[in-house]
Chains A and B, each alone.
Chain A
Amino acid sequence: DGGITQSPKYLFRKEGQNVTLSCEQNLNHDAMYWYRQDPGQGLRLIYYSQIVNDFQKGDIAEGYSVSREKKESFPLTVTSAQKNPTAFYLCASSSLAGSGNTIYFGEGSWLTVV
């Protein structure tokens, strides 16, 4: 099956811990993204990457880190510096060929701080 796989689907984190969310895609897409969704706030862009070994901060990058060592993979680390990490995290990807390319989402990861 082609698509975007996120894991884990549910994750509980203790305060002060770093956690890493996995995102893998087999769509051969160049660009990958991480969004965060909170109730009533819509999706907010955390980080994005257009090419291997390169990534840029989005609107709310503080407290997060990413890497893009392979085209297929774009893991997100939620660090202890992120003060309010409980949210629904969505990984996405898109082609960059042409313009107006659709962004497709993985099934998401629910992170809860306990």
Chain B
Amino acid sequence: RKEVEQDPGPFNVPEGATVAFNCTYSNSASQSFFWYRQDCRKEPKLLMSVYSSGNEDGRFTAQLNRASQYISLLIRDSKLSDSATYLCAVNRPGGGNKLTFGTGTQLKVEL
């Protein structure tokens, strides 16, 4: 089993739709979780950290399910500008603040 797994997509959704992505992780000792956004041929940029209680930032909501070892990202009222690849990242226990990244889920928002 891969350390971090994501459905590669693409998810093609109409503008205004709600879309959700999941990301599973294998190491139950992981403590820190993140969602990054990556545009084509650009560097990943932090979208949001994922907290145990769940957190929201505008149209974006992130949740953590420790029992089932996955994190999720919900995007409401999708915009054309949300089209990108969304990477989840999970820290590796053992110090050094090292992250393992998923391969990303591609989102395409269409008119």
Q: Interface residues, chain A, CB within 8 Å of chain B?
A: 31, 33, 35, 40-43, 45, 48, 50, 56, 58, 88, 90, 94, 96, 99-108
* Most chain A beta carbons < 10 A, residue from B42, B44, B97, B104: B97
CA distance A72 to B101 in the complex (A): 24
Contact A106 B87, beta carbon cutoff 8 Å: no
* Chain A residues with CB under 8 A of B101: 35, 42-43
Q: Does B45 contact A (CB under 8 A)?
A: yes
* Most chain A beta carbons < 10 A, residue from B87, B98, B103, B104: B98
Q: Interface residues, chain B, CB within 8 Å of chain A?
A: 4, 8, 31-32, 34, 41-46, 49, 87, 89, 91, 96-104
Contact B104 A42, beta carbon cutoff 8 Å: yes
Contact B102 A42, beta carbon cutoff 8 Å: yes
With A40-B8, A96-B97 known as contacts, the answer to whether A90 contacts B44 (CB < 8 A) is yes
* Chain A residues with CB under 8 A of B98: 33, 45, 48, 58
Contact A101 B104, beta carbon cutoff 8 Å: no
* Chain B residues with CB under 8 A of A45: 98-100
Contact A105 B45, beta carbon cutoff 8 Å: yes
With A43-B44, A90-B43, A99-B32 known as contacts, the answer to whether A48 contacts B102 (CB < 8 A) is no
Contact B42 A107, beta carbon cutoff 8 Å: yes
Contact B96 A56, beta carbon cutoff 8 Å: yes
CA distance A56 to B94 in the complex (A): 13
CB-CB nearest 7 A-B residue pairs: A100-B32, A42-B103, A105-B43, A43-B101, A42-B101, A108-B43, A94-B97
CA distance A88 to B44 in the complex (A): 12
Query: What is the minimal beta-carbon distance from A106 to any residue of chain B, in angstroms?
Result: 6
CA distance A56 to B95 in the complex (A): 12
Query: What is the minimal beta-carbon distance from A65 to any residue of chain B, in angstroms?
Result: 19
Contact A102 B44, beta carbon cutoff 8 Å: no
Contact B49 A42, beta carbon cutoff 8 Å: no
Contact A106 B43, beta carbon cutoff 8 Å: yes
* Chain A residues with CB under 8 A of B4: 42
A30 (CB) vs chain B CBs: closest residue: B97
